[in-house]
Amino acid sequence: EKDGYDYFMLKEIAEQPKAVADTLLGRIGTDGRLRLDEVRIPDQVLREVDKVVIIACGTSFHAAMIAKYAIEHWTRVPCEVELASEFRYRDPILDRQTLVITISQSGETMDTLMAQRHAREQGAKVLAICNTNGSTMPREADAVLYTHAGPEVAVASTKAFLTQLVACYLVALYLGQVRGTKWGDEITEVIEQLAAMPKQVEKVLDTMEPVRDLARSLRDATSVLFLGRHVGFPVALEGALKLKELAYMHAEGFAAGELKHGPIALIEDGLPVVVVVPSPRGRSVLHDKIVSNIQEIRARGAKTIVIAEEGDETVVPYADHLIRIPVTPVLLQPLVATVPLQVFACELATAKGHEVDQPRNLAKSVTVE
Ligand code: F6R
């Protein structure tokens, strides 16, 4: 069943190009427009949506955070993102013009399911993004967009996460298409690039050997920090979550802009800090700011592990370890930037002698509150 891999997690990481391709399959027409008829929410309803609220837990919540950047940029519809466990008990403001999106690999996570029920009771339309056919969330939702990651056995989510991102991009672009917002060269190009992502993910997987060496060399580290900005911020949170659950290490993800508001006090000699660097093209301000963040932490002794686009030379002088990822549009970068972090956590955990498929205290599907 593991197809020659030692762990399901390794197999599932390796399956990501296919999972991404399968999730795109049949959803981009030959004319470059999106085909999401399966969602079956009438275009008129989507045109009237005045707010999107995305609800999820854990890794799926990180996908939701990334979706917010994409939805607001491509559709100009305000988007809120909330942890399911917080949403339910907060008296959220929802109505018929709110599109609620739940994201869940299993479709059975109790907190997300309860949030979905609550949203429907308030009259909101609910679209479930889910990986498990016929599970409770898609059965109860008004509409479903399945991710086609295939069964995910390892407790830590990897390929499901990448396909959730793809589903979120598709929904965001589809909303833009239906509403006619920002439709033009930028979007046409993004759709083309999205179709090319399976190959880009493959490229990343082909260059992971140095990341494994690095992970093994950090076996005795007690703490690792992760920094990012914009869509790199949720990626940093995801990198930290993977390390916590698999390697049982203290790991924290931060928005790089928050460093000076507290976390920079944690930086000490030899502390490994992983930094996800946004593309130097597009929003170059963000890129320049993060380069100064890298300089700041390095000057205070951090061991910098920098994830940056191919061809980005500005980071070279400040990187103790440099991990290259392919050039992608700014919003799609999480699809490639997350992969090294999965490999890093998996290898570090294995080096520590932990069982990566079944981390202690965790269950694949959390069906209790
Ligand atoms: C992390 C992980 C969990 C799940 C979370 C939500 O690797 O697997 O954080 O992402 O429990 O699960 P689903 O997506 O099934 O609702």
Q: State the pLDDT at residue 67.
A: 98
Q: Which of 109, 110, 113, 358 is the best mutation target for the ligand 1 pocket, counting ligand atoms within 8 Å of the beta carbon and taking the most?
A: 109
- Portion of the chain with pLDDT greater than 90, in percent: 87
Residue nearest to atom 3 of ligand 1 (CA): 58
198 and 166 Cβ atoms separated by less than 8 Å: no
Q: Which of 106, 356, 357 is the best mutation target for the ligand 1 pocket, counting ligand atoms within 8 Å of the beta carbon and taking the most?
A: 106
161 and 57 Cβ atoms separated by less than 8 Å: no
54 and 92 Cβ atoms separated by less than 8 Å: no
Q: Which of 18, 51, 182, 364 is catalytic?
A: 364
User: Smallest Cα–Cα separation from 190: which of 169, 175, 204, 171?
Assistant: 169
User: Smallest Cα–Cα separation from 63: which of 174, 144, 195, 168?
Assistant: 168
Q: Which residue spans within 122-175 are E strands per DSSP? A: 125-130, 143-146
**CB-based pocket (< 6 A), ligand 1:** 57-60, 104-106, 109, 112, 156-157, 241, 245, 365-366
Model-level pTM?
Answer: 0.97
Q: State the pLDDT at residue 283.
A: 66
HEC per residue, 4-54: CCCCHHHHHHHCHHHHHHHHHCCCECCCCCECCHHHCCCHHHHHHCCEEEE
Sorted by sequence, the CB contacts under 8 Å of residue 283 that are 6+ apart come out as 230, 330
User: Smallest Cα–Cα separation from 337: which of 272, 247, 276?
Assistant: 276
Strand partners, 275: 227, 306
* Strand 98-104 relative to strand 303-309, pairing: unpaired
- Write the CA distances from 285 to 236, 278, 280, 290, 324, integer angstroms: 19, 10, 8, 9, 20
Q: Which atom of ligand 1 is nearest to the CA of 156?
A: 7
The interface predicted TM-score (ipTM) is: 0.98
Residue nearest to atom 16 of ligand 1 (CA): 104
Sorted by sequence, the CB contacts under 8 Å of residue 311 that are 6+ apart come out as 327
Q: State the pLDDT at residue 184.
A: 76
User: Smallest Cα–Cα separation from 158: which of 249, 76, 62, 78?
Assistant: 62
Q: State the pLDDT at residue 182.
A: 67
CA of 186 to the centre of ligand 1 (A): 32
Helix axes of 185-195 and 197-205: crossing angle, nearest 10 degrees: 50
Q: Which of 13, 57, 103, 132 is the best mutation target for the ligand 1 pocket, counting ligand atoms within 8 Å of the beta carbon and taking the most?
A: 57
- Write the CA distances from 193 to 15, 45, 175, 187, 312, integer angstroms: 20, 28, 18, 10, 19
Please indicate whether residue 51 is annotated as part of the active site. Answer: no
pLDDT tens sequence for the chain (369 residues): 889 999 999 999 999 999 999 999 999 999 889 999 889 899 999 999 999 999 999 999 999 999 999 999 999 999 999 999 999 888 899 999 999 999 999 999 999 999 999 999 999 999 999 999 999 999 999 999 999 999 999 999 999 999 999 999 999 999 999 998 766 778 889 999 999 999 999 999 999 999 999 999 999 999 999 999 999 999 999 999 999 999 999 999 999 999 999 999 999 999 999 999 998 886 678 999 999 999 999 999 999 999 999 999 999 999 999 999 999 999 999 999 999 999 999 999 999 999 998 888 888 888 887
